[in-house]
Amino acid sequence: MLANRPLDFASYEPGPFFDEMFDARSRPRRAYDILARTLSGLPDADLVRRQRAAERALLHMGITFNVYGHEAGAEKILPFDLVPRIVPADDWALIERGLVQRTRALNLFIDDIYHRARILADRAIPAEIVESATSLLPGARGLDPPGGVWIHVSGTDLIRDGDGQYYVLEDNLRCPSGVSYVLHNRQVMKRTFPKVFEASRVRPVDAYPSELLRVLQNVRPRGVASPNVVVLTPGPYNSAYSEHSFLAQQMGVELVEARDLSVRDGFVWMRTTRGLARVDVIYRRIDDVFIDPKVFRPDSMVGVPGLMDVVRAGRVALANAPGTGVADDKVIYAYVPAIIRYYLGEDAILPNVPTFVCSDEKQRAHVIQNIDKLVVKAANESGGYGMLIGPQASAAERATFADRIRANPRDYIAQPLLALSRAPTLVGEHLEGRHVDLRPYVLHGGDEIFVLPGGLTRVALKRGSYVVNSSQGGGTKDTWVLAARGDVSDSPGAPC
C-alpha cells in the first residue's frame, strides 16, 4: 500500500556526490526551488500515480524500442523518471558556448583530415593516431560536402564531477540518437507537472525538427532551389526506428529505406507511385560502412549501391557526411583540446575528462599499474560496451584488460573514475540519488550552429551504477534549461 503522507526529503541522502537538486547542506539549489517545494507538498502516492500516468502516455505514444529482434510482445518503453533535471541559465550559457566551439573545431578538423591534413603536417597532434584510427574513412578523402559542413547533427555526452564541473565525456558525431526522447519526455512532463513547468520558465525544445529541416535544406547541392529531403533508416526493426519515423514525420519529409532508393544517371532517386523522384538531401541514420555496398561493406543490405559516387559529384548531400566517425575515436578525443587550440586558437571552454592514451608508452605503464583505479575504454566501442570499471572489476577482469591493452595499445584509453553527479530519482515509492549524464544536441547548418536548449539526461537506474546507456539499464529524464532572468524573448533556439 502506498502511504498518503507527504514526500519527505529528510530521508533523501545526497551522499558523497554532487547532487543536481541539493547542495552540500541538503538545501534545494536555486533552480530547483519551485520543483522541490511542489514535490515536498505531494503525497508520495501521488508521485507514483503521476509516474504511472507518464509511463502510460509514453506507451500509448508508441515510444518503444525493440528488446529482442522484432517480436511485438518484447517492446518496451525506455524507462522514464518523472523528476526533471534542471540546468540553470548560467550553466547552460557555458555549455552552449563550449559546444559551439567544439563543434566548429571538430568540423574543421574532419575537413582538414580528409584534405591536406595540415594539423598532422604541423605536428599539432600525432599523425599515427589519426592514420591508425579504424574510423578513418579513406573513401571520404577529398570530399567537399556542401557548405563545408561534415557534422550536421551531433550529441555530446557531458558529465559533472564531484565539484559540479561539467566535462565532455565523449563526442558522438556519426548518428547520435535520443533526441526524440527529449521531445517526447517534454510532452509528457508538461502533462505531469503543468504548474511547476509553467512557473519554472523552461526553455522550449519543440524547435528541433524545424531547425533540423532548416539545416538539411541549407546543405542542399548547388543549383537546387527546393530540395527533396529524406530520412534514410535501416528499417522498422532497427532499435532507433521510432526516432527515425518521428523526425521524418515532424519535418514532413519522406522516411525511406535503401530499397526505396536507386542511383541512375548520376542522381539518387526514390521510387514513388508515380515513378521516380529525385532526392537531394539524405539525413541518413545508417553508419558509414553500410551506406554504399559498392564502396564499403559489400554485404550491406541497408545501403544504396552507387550512392558515394553521387555524393562525390555533389549531386546529393549526406548528413552527417561520411567519415565524421574519425573524430569520435576515443583516442583522438584525448587530443580535442589540442585540436581546438590548433584551429581556433582558443582554450577549450568545456574540459575533457583527463585521459591516458595507451599507445603512449609512459601513459600505458601508468594505466596498467593503476588499472584498479581507472576506467578503461575501447577506442571504438560505444553504448557502454568494451569497458572496464577498474574499482568495480575483479582481479581476473583487470588482468584480462591489462593483457588486451598490451596486445593492442592503440585500441585503449583510460580515465579516472569520476564521481558522476546524481539526481533524485523515483525508486519504488521514494526518491533516491542516481548517477546522471547529459547529452545536448547540436546542429551545424554552415552559417550558424544551433544548440537545442535541453537534452537527454540519462540516468543509471541501478543503485551505484555508473552506466547510463539504455542498452544497460539506463533511463531518461526530461531536462529543463531555464531561461535567463530578464530574458523576455524565451524564443526557441536563439541562434548563437
Partner 1 sequence: MLSRSAEAVYWMSRYAERAENVARFLDVSLQVMLDIPDTRGDPWNAIVAATGDDEEFAKRYGAATRDSVVRFLTVDAGSPNSILSCLQLARENARSIREAISSEMWEQINKWYLLVRDAAANPATIDDTHEFLAGVKEASHLFVGVTYLTMTHGEAWHFGRLGRVLERADQTSRIIDAKEALIHARPHDTGDSLGGIDLSALLRSVSALEMYRKRHGRIEHPQVIEFLMLDKWFPRSIRHCLENGHESLKLVAGTPSEAASTRPERMLGRLKAEYEYAVVEEILAAGLHDHLDRLQSKLNDVGAAIFEAFFATRAEPVAEEEQQVKSAAEAQAAQ
**Restricting to residues 234-253, which ones interact with partner 1 according to CB under 8 A?**
235-236, 241-242, 245-246, 248-249, 253
Shortest distance (Å) from residue 405 CB to partner 1: 43
Candidate segments 59-67, 289-297, 353-361, 467-475, binder of partner 1 by CB under 8 A: 59-67
Q: Does 69 bind partner 1 (CB under 8 A)?
A: no
The answer to whether 140 and 114 have CB atoms below 8 angstroms apart is yes
Q: Does 60 bind partner 1 (CB under 8 A)?
A: yes
- Residue 251 or 367: the one with the smaller Cβ distance to partner 1 is 251
Candidate segments 84-92, 122-130, 258-266, 326-334, binder of partner 1 by CB under 8 A: 258-266
What distance in Å separates the CA atoms of residue 382 and residue 368, rounded to the nearest whole number?
Answer: 22
Q: Does 302 bind partner 1 (CB under 8 A)?
A: no
- Residues 6+ away with beta carbon under 8 Å from 422: 14, 15, 17, 18, 19, 20, 433, 434, 435, 436
What distance in Å separates the CA atoms of residue 42 and residue 50, rounded to the nearest whole number?
Answer: 11
Angle between helices 241-251 and 179-192 (to 10 degrees): 80
Shortest distance (Å) from residue 236 CB to partner 1: 5
The answer to whether 409 and 354 have CB atoms below 8 angstroms apart is no
- Residues 6+ away with beta carbon under 8 Å from 124: 338, 339, 341, 342
- Residue 139 or 293: the one with the smaller Cβ distance to partner 1 is 293
- Residue 273 or 394: the one with the smaller Cβ distance to partner 1 is 273
Q: Which of 33, 112, 206, 254 binds partner 1 (CB under 8 A)?
A: 254
Cell digits of residue 194? 503543468
Candidate segments 9-17, 254-262, 354-362, 430-438, binder of partner 1 by CB under 8 A: 254-262
Candidate segments 151-159, 233-241, 366-374, 465-473, binder of partner 1 by CB under 8 A: 233-241
Candidate segments 28-36, 58-66, 137-145, 199-207, binder of partner 1 by CB under 8 A: 58-66
- Residues 6+ away with beta carbon under 8 Å from 29: 20, 21, 22, 23, 88
DSSP state of 196: H
CA distances to 88, 246, 423 from 432, in Å: 22, 32, 8
- Residue 11 or 273: the one with the smaller Cβ distance to partner 1 is 273
Q: Which of 191, 264, 406, 463 binds partner 1 (CB under 8 A)?
A: 264
Task: Identify the CA nearest to 185 among candidates 167, 199, 197, 172.
Answer: 197
CA distances to 56, 62, 182, 183, 206 from 187, in Å: 13, 13, 9, 6, 9
- Residue 16 or 68: the one with the smaller Cβ distance to partner 1 is 68
Which stretches of the chain bind partner 1, using CB under 8 A? 59-62, 72-73, 222-223, 231, 235-236, 241-242, 245-246, 248-249, 253-257, 259-260, 264-267, 269-276, 278, 315
